[in-house]
Structures are given as structure tokens and as C-alpha cells.
Amino acid sequence: MRPEAFIASKIFSLSPDKVSTLVMRITLLSVTIGVAVMLISLAIVIGFKNQIRDKVIGFVAPIQIESLDHNESLQQSAISIDSVLISSILQIDGVKSIQAVAEKAGIIKTEDQIQGVVLKGVEAAYNWSYFQSKIIDGRLPDLQNDERSLEVLISKSLSDKLMLKIGDPLRMWFVSGNEKARGRKFVVSGIYETGLVEFDDRYVFGDLNQIRRLNNWNPNEAGSLEVLLHQNESATAINESVYFSLPVNLTSYTAISSYPHIFDWLNLQDMNVIIIITLMVMVSGITVVSLLLMMVIERTSMIGILKALGASNAMIRRLFLIHSVKLLMYGLLAGNFLGIGFAIFQQQTGFFKLPAESYYLSTVPIDLQLSSVLLVNLGAGMIWFLMLLIPSFIINGIKPASAIKFS
């Protein structure tokens, strides 16, 4: 054992008679709470952003391809599903699959209720992986490529508003241009709930062939193509490659550009986390610095004696730093235990709730990653250690004769 570590283990104690004992306990509590709050904040924001992003992409896909003349209306222009075009897009790195869809605005009318919706027509090969976990009653629509299905999937919010349940008939009316209103009778096969109110109140999922018939399209035409990506791929980067592979009459855009207000709102959450982490690091750091100053003041006579015995300033500084860093390590361990424990508890129980109409989620989301834990521990620990170096140089100015004389 090095002399500094040996001396530190002998002279620093938690005696109730010392003021530094109370400061040590406050410092330990401050570091513990600071680390826990930083970990929890990161876990909540990352979980919140990931869940909202997954919800939006679950409805509209990361990249969409439409006719160049598309506008803000829900009356889409038909695009041809060309095998050469599909093949060229699938060859782009990061692209997983492509699916044909179409949207058409309509009105659902019951005996005493009326509701404007969007019928999203999908094919039999549509990727339902996101919605399979969101079905709360019934099942997904049974779709076939060669015939029109009458089954539709509606949200729980629409089911509650229109008082519809599984197996009930659903009458939907459509108007295109100067044509007369055209009605279609569907059957509710399933009810889903994502918590993304903006989309749940809007979308009804049905058969693409129904929209083709309503719009007088050919079997190889659709309103848009949705491009699905492999996990962790950047939609913005891949969209650039997709865009330049398209013919002049088509264009592509990402879900981020389609719903910028949602993603801009999510990006604002990063600033909240930065502010919280900065405050926690500064408050805990000031407490740690105060502890070191208090220990130096209480042991001024000891410092004078050690200097008189030949101890260097560097050795004495290391003596105090060893004890302070040891206290920091205890605080880091306790903070990790508290923060990770809360994250696991919330993931398993969903105990803390949120109003879905305001936050799009019913429970506080948690996504605690190893990189976040390492970043908090290494970053905060390094900053606190550097803050400790500044007051440690006060030891250099203590004169042995004066310190021993006035002890």
C-alpha cells in the first residue's frame, strides 16, 4: 500500500464531533442523487424518443415514395408498381423491403355518430409487425391479393366514439372530385391502440384492392410505396439514394419530413436532459469541492506536521484526493444502484403513468443503454475529479510553522 493511501485510511474517520463528517454524508447523498437523476433522465428521454419514433414509423414507414404531383390533400395520384423500379430500390444498402399502400379520405357514419377518417389500404404481404403487439381485441384483417376483403382494423378511440365492436358492420362514404358519394360496407375484424392519438383518431386499415376499385386503378397501381429499412439505418441518408434512383415523375420523403412537428418536439427533449445533467454535475461538484475544503481546514495542523516531517505538497494533495475520490466512487456506485433499479422497476411494472392525450404514451418509457451508463459515470466522474484538483492546491500555501503554532 502506498504511504498516501495508508495515511488516508488512518486519519479520515466519520467521527460525529467533526464538521466534515456531516459534509461527507451530504456529499455522498448529493453524488448518489445526481448520478441517479442523470441516469433516469437519459433513460426516460431515450425511451420516449424511441417509442414515439416507432409509433410514427409504424403508421407511415421510414421512407415513402409518391407521385411528384402529390399535395396536402388525401386524394393520391396512382403510381405503377414497376418490377425494375422495385428491384433498383431493394439493391440500395439498408433497404429491407417495399410495400404498396394507398390512402383515401372517408366518413364513417353510424345511426347517431359521424367521424372523418382515412382508409389506409394495404396488401396481403403488408408488414404488420408493429400492429401485432397493439391489437387489444379481435385480429388483423384477412387480406388476399386476388379479391377484395371487407375486413378492417380500427382504433380503440374510434371504437369508443362510434360504439363499434368486433364483427359489427361499418359503413364508410367516399367522395372523389365531382363524383357522387360512394358508400362501402365493411366489417370490424380487430381493434388496435397505439396511444398516438393523432394517428389513432385518423387511420382505419383495410384492403388496398378496395381503394383501387374506388379510384378505378389497375391491379398494379397504388397510391404510394413504403420503404422499410433494416434496424438502426438512417432514413435521411438512405432517402437520398432512393430519391436519385427514382424516375422523374416520382419523389421520396422521410417520416421526419412528413411530421416535422413531432420530431422537432422530440429533439427539444435533448435540451431538457442537457440542462438537468449540467445542473446535477455542478451541484454535486460544488458539494464535493466544499467537502475537500472542509477537510483541509479541519486538518491544517496535521498538514503542517506532515510538511515539517518532510512530506511534499504533492504527497499531501494525493492524500486528500484519495479520500475524496474514494467517497466519489461510493456515491457513483450508490447512484448507479438507485438509477438502474428505478429503470428496471419501471420497465417491469409501468408503475408511473402519463396522460396519453398529452404525451402519446400511457406509462413513463424507459430505455437504459450501457452506453448511457458509461457516459454518465465516466463523464461526471472525470469532471468531479478535475474540480477537486483546484482546491487541493490550497495545501501548497499552508506554512508548517504557522499551521503548528496556531493548532
Asked if residue 177 has pLDDT above 80, the reply is no
User: Quick one: pLDDT at residue 310?
Assistant: 75
Q: CA nearest 152: which of 167, 134, 162, 163?
A: 167
Q: Is the pLDDT of residue 157 over 60?
A: yes
Asked if residue 222 has pLDDT above 70, the reply is: yes
Question: In this structure, what are the phi and psi dihedrals at residue 4, rounded to the nearest 5 degrees?
Answer: -60, -45
Above pLDDT 90, what percent of the chain?
A: 32
| Nearest partner of 23 among 280, 289, 282, judged by Cα | 289
- Decide the pairing of beta strands 151-155 and 182-192: parallel
What value does the mean pLDDT of the chain take? 84
Tens digits of residue pLDDT in 364-379: 889 888 888 998 999 8
- Looking at this protein, which amino acid is placed at residue 264? D
Residues 103/120, Cβ–Cβ less than 8 Å:
yes
Confidence class for position 8, pLDDT limits 50, 70, 90:
low
Is the overall model pTM greater than 0.85, yes or no?
no
Whether 384 contacts 284, CB under 8 Å: yes
Q: Which three cell numbers stand for residue 117?
A: 377518417
The size of the chain, in residues, is: 407
Q: Are 191 and 135 in contact (CB under 8 A)?
A: yes
pLDDT at residue 334 is higher than 80: yes
Pairing of strands 114-122, 203-207: parallel
Residue 12 has pLDDT above 60, yes or no: no
Task: Name every residue whose Cβ is closer than 8 Å to that of residue 361 and which is 6 or more positions away in sequence.
Answer: 48, 51, 52, 195, 354
Q: Calculate the alpha carbon distances from 161 to 70, 110, 200, 202, 315 in Å.
A: 31, 10, 12, 12, 75
pLDDT for position 262: 83
pLDDT of 258 higher than 90 = no
Which residue do the cell numbers 412537428 mark? 261
Burial of 156 by CB count in 10 Å (0-12 exposed, 13-18 middle, 19+ buried)?
A: middle
pLDDT for res 175:
77
Over its C-alpha atoms, the chain yields an Rg (Å, rounded) of 32
Strands (DSSP E) along 182-238, which ranges? 182-192, 203-207, 221-222, 224-229
Give the pLDDT confidence score for residue 179 in this predicted structure: 67
Helices (H), 201-259: 208-215, 235-244, 255-258
Question: What digits encode the pLDDT tens for the residues 122-142?
Answer: 999 899 999 998 999 999 999
How would residue 28 be classed by pLDDT, with cut points 50, 70 and 90? Answer: confident
- Cα 146 to chain center, whole Å? 40
Amino acid found at 52: I
